[in-house]
Amino acid sequence: MPTIYETDSLDEAIDIVQDENKRYPFILHKFDIGACQEKWTSDYLASKIGSKPVRIHVSQDDMMDFVRKNFTYETLPFNKLIHRCARTTNDEYFVSPNEHYYFRALGDNQRTDIANIEKHFPSIANDIKYPPLFSPEKFFSSVFRIGSANTQLWTHYDIMDNVLIQVHGTKRLIMFKPSDIDYLYIDGDKSLVNNIEQPDFDTYPLVRHATYYTGTLQSGDCLFIPALWFHNIKSLDTYSISLNVFWRHLNIGFYEPQDLYGNKDLIPFSRTIGQLAKSLNELDKQLPPVYVDFYIKRLRCYLDNYIKEYEKKIEN
């Protein structure tokens, strides 16, 4: 199992992000992330942010599963949330005393606002610094995240680059390169394989072919998650506080402007799929079912060949 690359050098980190032939994940150590590392205790955050209501995921399971929805969305005042996350057992709860919490900040209007720590949590925003891996006009969002100990988020990819800054707690990292898409049973941007550490190989046999890149993110470290790299991240024995910053590495016009989560497909791809769906619909209307069935299978052969040729092209 390869490990995720690690470096202490900001210059090297910038080079890996900006050199189109590199762009692999890495953990950057020794970057000064600011006063947050000392200051962000649960009491400090509770007193600075107060009772602002925040929307959270709550689950009895330690592995949150977006596809099978083993969690509910709830709302808590921020100061209650942070104290509940900091404990493993709570007297006040939604489903059970040892339920798990996961907070991923959104904007004040959760349907339209893009998460931004400076706008939505201004009282703490100056405490944190992130490494200058991209030019400022490419910035998209800064997402404040807090989770209970031993809590895993589902495996997924994002369409934008991002850097995850770990302020408090330790995280276990598993990542897969984009070409492992064939082995991860993807539904949209998420994998159906929830227990990625011990997959059920009878149901998901192809996972055996995926290459697991593993690592550990400690307080003060920054993880570069390149666009399209699948990631599965779990907080370990203590609750976790992080911030991640998303940016648009390609031409800004390729990205959906209101992509709240940084995971909407790029516009050139959504156009392609839209045109294909329209053409298939027309085919279906014009021809009898036996021909449609035959031609959509021909289309699959066409795509399989196209992929083989494309793989050869990018190998050379």
Out of 59, 142, 155, 242, which residue is the one contacting ligand AKG (CB under 6 A)?
Answer: 242
Give the β-pairing of 5-7 and 161-168: unpaired
Q: With H, G, I as helix, E, B as strand and everything else as coil, classify residue 60.
A: coil
Q: How many CB atoms lie within 10 A of CB 77?
A: 14
- Separation of first and last alpha carbons in the chain: 26
Out of 82, 133, 153, 174, which residue is the one contacting ligand AKG (CB under 6 A)?
Answer: 153
Note whether 59 binds ligand AKG by CB under 6 A.
no
Give the β-pairing of 161-168 and 190-191: unpaired
Judge contact between 262 and 244, C-beta under 8 A.
no
Note whether 162 binds ligand AKG by CB under 6 A.
yes
Contact region for ligand AKG (CB under 6 A) — 22-30, 157-165, 204-212, 265-273?
Answer: 157-165
Mask for 244-283, x = binds ligand AKG (CB under 6 A): x---------------------------------------
Of residues 220 through 239, those in contact with ligand AKG by CB under 6 A are: 225, 231, 233
Q: Where in the chain does DSSP place strands (E)? A: 5-7, 26-28, 53-59, 71-77, 100-104, 139-147, 161-168, 171-176, 186-187, 190-191, 213-217, 222-225, 230-235, 240-247
Out of 36, 78, 106, 158, which residue is the one contacting ligand AKG (CB under 6 A)?
Answer: 158
Note whether 28 binds ligand AKG by CB under 6 A.
no
Is the CB of 145 or the CB of 249 nearer to ligand AKG?
145
Residues of this chain that bind ligand AKG (CB under 6 A): 145, 147, 153, 158, 162, 164, 171, 225, 231, 233, 242, 244
